[in-house]
Amino acid sequence: MIITGLVLGIALGIVMQRGRFCVTGMLRDISLAHTWRPFTALLIVIAIHAVGIAGLTAAGIIQPEYDPFAPYAVIVGGFLFGIGIVLAGGCASGTWYRSGEGLVGSWFALLFYGLSAAAMKTGALSGLNSWLRDRTVNLTTIHGSLGMSVWWLAIPFAALAAGLAVYFLRTDSTPASLQAGWKKPLHLYVAAVLVGLLGIIAWPLSAATGRNDGLGITSPTANLINFLVTGESTRVDWGVMLVLGILVGSFIAAKVTGEFRVRVPDPTQTVKSIAGGTLMGVGAAWAGGCTVGNGMVQTGLFTYQGWVALAAIAAGVFVAAKIWLHPRPTSVPEAEQVPFESFNLNAPVLGSSAVAVATSTGLREVAPAVFALDTLGSVCPFPLIDAKEAMNELDSGESLRIDFDCTQATESIPRWAADEGFEVTDFHEVGDAGWQITVGK
């Protein structure tokens, strides 16, 4: 029966990869982009989980169990996890599916996430984990404390999520899209609905194998590491098959759409990925879950753990974004001139005498009033951050040509252009998992 975990994981990996589904970005955009549009997708997942789990419980199909609320562990752990996912460039599930896209930085983050989570749960740091996890209070669910049925929370919450989704869909700017047909990415809200439905299906499938839980990433990742180290076959449960399925599904989706390519990060990002993965494992172990286990499942159960953890994760993301998410410094000398033909940026031919002029901002004028920005190798959200900074340096009538290989930027950059009223004059693929977009100011 644990093979059902692999099947469901493959479906989840495909949906997350095609929907660019990343809780890190949803939380990050609240402060960086000042929008709640992406975060509404998480609310949709929680709402579907809440209604579905309540229904399955009422029907006697599943019987969720609740751990005692450990406030100190949840708050500290959630905050550390929030910092970690910003450094790593993705949350727990995001790190798994981005590994399937070929991001080597995510491989490092995933490895150290699993190692640190295993150390906290069953290894050398288990004492440190218990030190905070054992400090509990007599609270489990919000509706239990209020003495009411969970439906009094689930139905209004679902209505709120639906209302916000309708509002943002009606006020949405239409971004430029590169792919068409089956290669076109899923709308984020469609992906959210599918993730929520898969989360409901996960409960009875997982419970049938003796694992009384739904979607989860941290414990399965730690169990996988423990199995690889000790060879204990009992560690390979439904959850382990789930996370392996996410990796496989993401790889399949990325490969068939031309979005897979092995991308090696620079040394700075490698260090951040390792540090971020380590904080993710420690934080998720303390908090009792990640952005899936706490941010989607426990919130859908309306536990104190889930909602406090989500708030703590959001705080960690906010602090980390303020510290680390800034435009990258450039080292291009001012007034450096390079023959235009050497850039191969598909620009109009200006003649053999044309030059690409480097400005003090690091941009290169590769055609009259067209400036090039190279963000190749940068992980989300840096292509968008750099593009915003570069556009601020341009005058009206000038254009910015951006080269990038971050899959998420295929949505975020066109969305930003549409929201700001900029014109996308060109948008095309450059080989596997490479793109170029020209935005006019």
Residue 380 is among the residues annotated as catalytic for this protein: yes
Phi, psi at residue 124, to the nearest 5°?
Answer: -65, -25
Please say whether the beta carbons of 86 and 23 come within 8 A. Answer: no
Considering the entire predicted model, what is its pTM?
Answer: 0.89
The pLDDT assigned to 339 comes to: 40
Where on the phi/psi map is residue 289: left (φ > 0), alpha (ψ -120 to 50), or beta?
Answer: left
The pLDDT assigned to 179 comes to: 66
Centre a 10 Å sphere on the Cβ of residue 58 and count the other Cβ atoms it contains.
12
Which residues lie closer than 8 Å to 218 by C-beta, 6 or more apart? Answer: 92, 117, 281, 284, 285, 289, 290, 293
Please say whether the beta carbons of 253 and 16 come within 8 A. Answer: no
The pLDDT assigned to 186 comes to: 93
Low-confidence ranges of the chain (pLDDT < 50): 331-360
Amino acid at 269: Q
Question: DSSP for 136-188?
Answer: -BS--BHHHHHT--THHHHHHHHHHHHHHHHHHHHH------S--GGGSPPPH
Please say whether the beta carbons of 309 and 295 come within 8 A. Answer: yes
Question: DSSP for 352-389?
Answer: TT-EEEE-TTS-EEEETTEEEEE-TTPPTTHHHHHHHH
The pLDDT assigned to 342 comes to: 38
With tokens 């055609």, the residue in question is: 367
Please say whether the beta carbons of 371 and 398 come within 8 A. Answer: yes
The pLDDT assigned to 338 comes to: 39
Q: Which residue out of 22, 91, 380, 406 is catalytically annotated?
A: 380
Phi, psi at residue 100, to the nearest 5°?
Answer: -70, -20
Q: Read off the tokens for 118.
A: 């295993």
The pLDDT assigned to 330 comes to: 52
Centre a 10 Å sphere on the Cβ of residue 229 and count the other Cβ atoms it contains.
12
d(Cα 246, Cα 240) in Å, to the nearest integer? Answer: 10
Phi, psi at residue 349, to the nearest 5°?
Answer: -75, 125
Contacts 24+ apart (CB under 8 A), 54-60: 54/150, 54/151, 54/154, 56/200, 56/203, 56/204, 57/150
In the three-class reduction of DSSP (H, G, I as helix; E, B as strand; rest coil), residue 441 is classed as coil
